Structure 1
Amino acid sequence: MAEVKFEIIEKIGELSKSPKGWTKELNLVSWNERQAKYDIREWDPDHEKMAKGITLSREEAVKLKELLNGLDL
């Protein structure tokens, strides 16, 4: 299995924290030295291990924001 390289370019915010200390976060992350994307996933306290997540381009993040703004939360 190939090693995945990542760099958290910007920590945007924490969405939640589990009892085990993992945090679900929104960050700007560069994967395998590619252009950074918006990323939502859980991270261990040291940001060495991660759970599966979702990455969004800027255009997808803008669309998601529009969709969320349209909800009655």
Structure 2
Amino acid sequence: MAAKITYTIQEELGDLSEASNGWKKQLTYTSWNNRGENFDLRSWNPDHTAMTKGLTLTKEEILKLKDILNNIDFDKY
């Protein structure tokens, strides 16, 4: 039997997109399994009771990602 995953979304930081079924790809500040909060990027159903696989980033990782994104020449792609 799979272990129950618990989570608490401390803050919804922003929506990246919304699918026709109402699921939103969001950046949140979330605690997983009663651990410290991290930045989390994944899709959620409208009432946040179901989610897709996602990516969890520490503060240091998201700051590094911010630096990388700020230095990309998006006109090149």
TM-score by length of 2: 0.93
| Residue aligning to 2:27 | 26
**Secondary structure of 1:67 counterpart:** helix
Unpaired runs of 5+ residues, structure 1, are none
Query: Structure 2 matches for 1:1-73, cutoff 5 A?
Result: 1-73=2-74
RMSD between superposed Cα atoms in Å: 0.5
Normalising by structure 1, we get a TM-score of: 0.98
Q: Deviations over 1:8-67 (max 9, x none)?
A: 011100000001110000000000010000000000011000000000000000000000
Q: Which runs of 5 or more residues in structure 2 are unaligned? A: none
1:64 aligned counterpart, secondary structure? helix
Query: Which protein shows a greater Rg?
Result: 2
